[in-house]
Amino acid sequence: MKNSALQASLLAFGLAALAYAQAGPPPTKVGIIHIQNTVISTKDGQKAFSELQARFEPRRKEIEKKQAEITALRDQLQKGSNTLSEDARQKLVRDIDQKTRALNRDTEDAQSEYDQEQQKVLQELGEKIMAVIYKYAQDNGYAVILDISSPQTPVLYAANNVDLTNDIVSLYDKSAPAAGAAPATGRPMAFPPAGIKPASPARPPARKQP
């Protein structure tokens, strides 16, 4: 999941610059945060992603329905390998290929739109959480806070007591307007339902020798 606006370099350099601008002794503490987990763990994040998935639920069900139709046609083609006429077999193959191409296009389009909407949510909430992080760093003497959500993070080891994710989630939820109740999703989910992948074109089964 991409989240380019919230990279570790921005957190590190932004907080470092802010720290040097403060009066008094220079801060020395270093912390880490998983910014993506922070966003989706807040009440606002849970509510936003729950609403996003609800909006795309009809399209998810439609994709499942189309996948089931293709599966039924494939079964029909397989079971009729010795009884269908050649014309009937070729028509089934064409129907399966046509429906498969349409399903793949629909799945890719839905995934692209879902990813864009998901990124908007992450960006909007991420900006609000950044303000909480800055204030937390100022109030608690942090010189650097690193985002470890990226696989490319340079952090190889960090003690548990320097992970600020839960602290920031709690602080954000206390300062943010009360969000409506929503089930926790754990993490933003990919759009296509589990088990549905781009399908391959149909190929007629070989006729069994009598």
Residue 196 lies in a domain: no
Residue 165 lies in a domain: yes
The chain-wide mean pLDDT, for the chain, equals 80
The residue among 37 and 191 whose pLDDT is bigger is 37
Domain count along the chain: 1
Per residue in 66-114, pLDDT (tens digit) is 999 999 999 999 888 788 899 999 999 999 999 999 999 999 999 999 9
Residue 196 clears pLDDT 50, i.e. is over it: no
Residue 206 clears pLDDT 70, i.e. is over it: no
Other beta carbons less than 10 A from residue 8's beta carbon: 21
Alpha-carbon gap, residue 148 to 165, rounded angstroms = 10
DSSP H helical segments within the chain, as ranges? 8-21, 35-41, 43-79, 86-140, 165-175
Residue 81 lies in a domain: yes
CATH code of the domain containing 143: 3.30.910.20
Least confident of 48-52, 64-68, 121-125, 189-193: 189-193
Residue 149 lies in a domain: yes
Supply the pLDDT for residue 147.
93
What's the pLDDT band for 24 if we cut at 50, 70, 90?
Answer: low
| Amino acid identity for residue 163 in this structure | D
What's the pLDDT band for 152 if we cut at 50, 70, 90?
Answer: confident
Residue 18 lies in a domain: yes
Residue 192 lies in a domain: no
Residue 210 clears pLDDT 60, i.e. is over it: no
Mean pLDDT confidence for 57-61:
94
Supply the pLDDT for residue 82.
82
What's the pLDDT band for 151 if we cut at 50, 70, 90?
Answer: confident
Residue 105 lies in a domain: yes
Supply the pLDDT for residue 146.
94
Residue 40 clears pLDDT 70, i.e. is over it: yes
Residue 135 lies in a domain: yes
Residue 183 clears pLDDT 90, i.e. is over it: no
Supply the pLDDT for residue 9.
44
* Alpha-carbon distance values, 135 to 69, 122, 168, 178 (Å): 54, 20, 10, 20
Mean pLDDT confidence for 18-26:
58
List the one residue out of 95, 89, 94, 87 whose CA is nearest residue 77: 89
Full residue range of the structural domain in which residue 26 is found:
4-175
